[in-house]
Every structure is written in C-alpha cells, then in structure tokens.
Amino acid sequence: MTDHAQLVGDILQEYAERGIFRGFSRAPAKGSYRVLWLRDQLFEWRWNDAKKSLRITCVLPQVAPQSAMYRELRSWLKSRQDAALPDHRRCDAQRVALRPYNRGGSVALTLRSLDGDVEYLVRKMVSLVNELYVDFLSSGLYLDWQIETFNLDPDNPR
C-alpha cells in the first residue's frame, strides 16, 4: 500500500471513529475502502495513486443519465467550485478537479488532486458528499426519488 493510500484510509477511519460514518473498512494493499454512511448506503471509495484521485463508485444510485436530475446535479457540483463560496464549502478548482460520471444510472464522483495535497482531497470529498445529501437533495425536488430509492417512510422521509 502506498503512503497516500494509507493516508486516505487513516483519514476515513478518523471520520468513522468520530461517528460521522456508521461503518468503515479497508481492503489491504488495494487503496479500496467501504464506508457505511448517508441513508445507510455502503459507499465504495477507491484511491488511484497514479492519478492522485479518489472516486466514490456510486454516490447516487438510480439516476438516469439523460434526466433533469442528473443535469441539475452536474450544475450543482460545478457550483461547488465557485470562488464566491466560503472556503469551507468550496472545492478549490486550483487544488482539485471534480468530475461526475453516470454509468447505467449509478452516479460516481471523482476528485483528482492538482497540488498533491491528499488530505485536502479526502476531506473535501467527505464534505462534498455530505453537502450533496444535505443541500442538493433537501430541496424537495427529489423527495419521491429518495423515498423510492432509499425505501424511506413517505410520512417521515428524513
């Protein structure tokens, strides 16, 4: 395992120990991590040492690639790099490249370090995904999607 892969795992484990995640595990020597987190989803995180990137293979399930939701998500993600946002909410475009992918309805998210600061990259990924669920999905536009996708109680979707 590379030093960066170890660092990624250590930072994620720190979040788990603080109770931010409900579960955490790492695959030995692979740069692969599993995090039980938002809406009780199991998120697969993968560190790519050659690209200095971190990917969550499915940050949102069941989002059609040509849907309005996916277009709005891409726009929302782009807005997370706006210089007008406060530092703690912004993914600095000088430091990380942010890219969503949609493969068969599974939205993956990749952050690639542009300055080599792996800790910044990991912490921004955690913040970005949390904000995606707390901000983007809380608009109410996608309540029916959330109820269906996450099997939520329609009378108490939170």
Instruction: Report DSSP letters for the chain, one per residue.
Output: --HHHHHHHHHHHHHHHTTSSSEEEEETTTTEEEEE-GGG-EEEEEEETTTTEEEEEEEE-S--TTSHHHHHHHHHHHHTT-TTS-TTT---TTTEEEEEEEETTEEEEEEEESSS-HHHHHHHHHHHHHHIIIIIGGGSTTHHHHHHHTT-BTTB--
Per-residue pLDDT, 41: 87
Mean pLDDT of 101-126: 96
pLDDT at residue 158 is higher than 80: no
Number of domains forming the structure of the chain: 1
Q: Is residue 158 part of a domain?
A: no
Per-residue pLDDT, 138: 82
Per-residue pLDDT, 103: 93
Q: Is residue 60 part of a domain?
A: yes
Q: Is residue 107 part of a domain?
A: yes
Q: Is residue 33 part of a domain?
A: yes
Q: Which domain holds residue 34?
A: 3-145
- CATH number (domain holding residue 102): 3.30.1460
Mean pLDDT of 35-51: 92
pLDDT at residue 28 is higher than 90: no
Per-residue pLDDT, 143: 75
Q: What is the pLDDT of residues 66-78, one digit of tens each?
A: 999 999 999 999 9
Q: Is residue 151 part of a domain?
A: no
Q: Is residue 15 part of a domain?
A: yes
Q: Is residue 157 part of a domain?
A: no
What type of residue sits at position 9? G
Q: Is residue 80 part of a domain?
A: yes
Phi, psi (deg, nearest 5) at residue 30: -120, -15
Confidence of residue 155 (pLDDT cuts 50, 70, 90): low
